[in-house]
Amino acid sequence: MVSGFWDNKVSAQTTMQRLASLRYDYEKWTNIKNKCTDLNEIATVALNEKDESINDSIYSELSKLSSIFETFEFELQLNGDFDEKTAILSIKQGAGGVDAQDWSEMLLRMYTRWAEHRKFSLEILDLTPGEEAGIKSATVKIIGRYAYGYLRSEKGVHRLVRLSPFDTDHRRHTSFALVEVLPEPDTAQDIRIEPDDVKMDVFRASGNGGQSVQKNSTAIRLTHKPSGLVVSVQNERSQSQNREVGMKILHARLVDLEIKKRAEKQAKFKGEHVSAEFGRQVRSYVHHPYQMVKDHRTEYQTGNTDAVLNGEIDDFLTAFLSSSGKTNSIK
């Protein structure tokens, strides 16, 4: 190490994290290369000896390697400052009453299944249950390499069209939910929150009709005065725990705000028009009168609605990220 490397702990930590990331990429490339070499040698021997008995095995291994390579090649495009980070994902009910609350819970399940498929871990930071069914809102932390890089494409309004299970006449209803995705910044991230800039209000946590609510005022609301950002958390049992979670979410939202400011500034230099992603309808999920999920930004669609709602959304994520070619660098 260079003399004085650890004098600046923030800089040293950032460098070590980058080094670990590069080492991971190198080892993965080396593993792919070695497997390709081994497979090539096996195929060459089989060809020379005219042995066709292992053809199926060779093709199977080649298909697996091709899939691994394509995934890794794509991930190398996720080169924004925060793409490798943990994602903080929030879901909020939109128009549609109880159907919208049920839809919000369906989206939470979809992202939970997606995380499980990728072997990412998911932690619930805050959850407000619906009055009759579903949830009013939820905030979760999805931990895994490139979690934010993949999921940042999910920002916006998600629309569901179906025959409502809550309508006695079983009529078709349209429901909306808003998805917000933030990167979890490192503690070393140079966006400081001054204590005097944050106002904290406390209130009693709410529950649904059949649940008892806490008598003590443990829920908190944080207001960041300079930006006007507001964060409410009521999931934890103590006020201090809720405040700790709330500060993490506030920090992430401030980083996201900085990313948007830089993107808008860059777009002005290029003469581009940047529409507000927050609140824009990005995807429709149709259950009736036909089955379809369609992304309105990429035009990518599928008729397998059930698979998508079970977490199989990778094709939508990669279609958006490949077509946009955007990173989220704030440098």
CATH code (residue 122)? 3.30.70.1660
Average pLDDT of the segment spanning 95-122: 95
Q: Is residue 172 part of a domain?
A: yes
Q: Is residue 211 part of a domain?
A: yes
Closest CA to 295 of 256, 323, 327, 264: 323
Does the pLDDT of residue 312 top 70, yes or no? yes
More confident residue, 138 or 45: 138
Residue 183 and residue 311 in one domain: yes
Residue 148 and residue 291 in one domain: yes
pLDDT at residue number 275: 42
pLDDT at residue number 325: 59
Cα separation of 251 and 125, whole Å? 14
Lowest mean pLDDT, pick from 100-104, 173-177, 214-218, 265-269: 265-269
Residue 319 and residue 175 in one domain: yes
Report residue 16's pLDDT band, with 50, 70 and 90 as the boundaries: confident
Lowest mean pLDDT, pick from 61-70, 194-203, 217-226: 61-70
The structural domain count of the chain equals 3
Residue 301 and residue 177 in one domain: yes
Alpha-carbon distances, residue 183 vs 44, 67, 82, 104, 331 (angstroms): 47, 27, 6, 21, 15
Residue 93 and residue 218 in one domain: no
Lowest mean pLDDT, pick from 110-124, 146-160, 167-181, 316-330: 316-330
Residue 200 and residue 247 in one domain: yes
pLDDT at residue number 14: 62
Mean pLDDT, the chain, integer: 84
Strands (E), 190-304: 198-203, 219-224, 230-233, 281-286, 292-295, 301-302
Does the pLDDT of residue 162 top 80, yes or no? yes
Q: Is residue 81 part of a domain?
A: no
Residue 102 and residue 220 in one domain: no
The answer to whether residues 157 and 184 touch, using CB atoms and an 8 Å cutoff, is no
Residue 57 and residue 168 in one domain: no
Residue 206 and residue 302 in one domain: no
Average pLDDT of the segment spanning 95-101: 91
Q: What is the pTM of this model?
A: 0.74
CATH of the domain at 263: 3.30.160.20
Residue 58 and residue 96 in one domain: no
More confident residue, 330 or 31: 31
Residue with tokens 């001054």: 194
pLDDT at residue number 329: 40
Pairing of strands 219-224, 230-233: antiparallel
Cα separation of 182 and 154, whole Å? 10
Q: Which residues of 84-93 are buried (b: 16+ CB within 10 A; e: fewer)?
A: bbbbbbbbbb
Residue 119 and residue 174 in one domain: yes
Residue 135 structural domain = 87-190+274-324
Average pLDDT of the segment spanning 265-274: 54
Average pLDDT of the segment spanning 25-49: 86
Does the pLDDT of residue 17 top 80, yes or no? no
Cα separation of 101 and 104, whole Å? 5
pLDDT at residue number 118: 92
Does the pLDDT of residue 211 top 70, yes or no? no
Does the pLDDT of residue 328 top 60, yes or no? no
Does the pLDDT of residue 97 top 80, yes or no? yes
pLDDT at residue number 207: 59
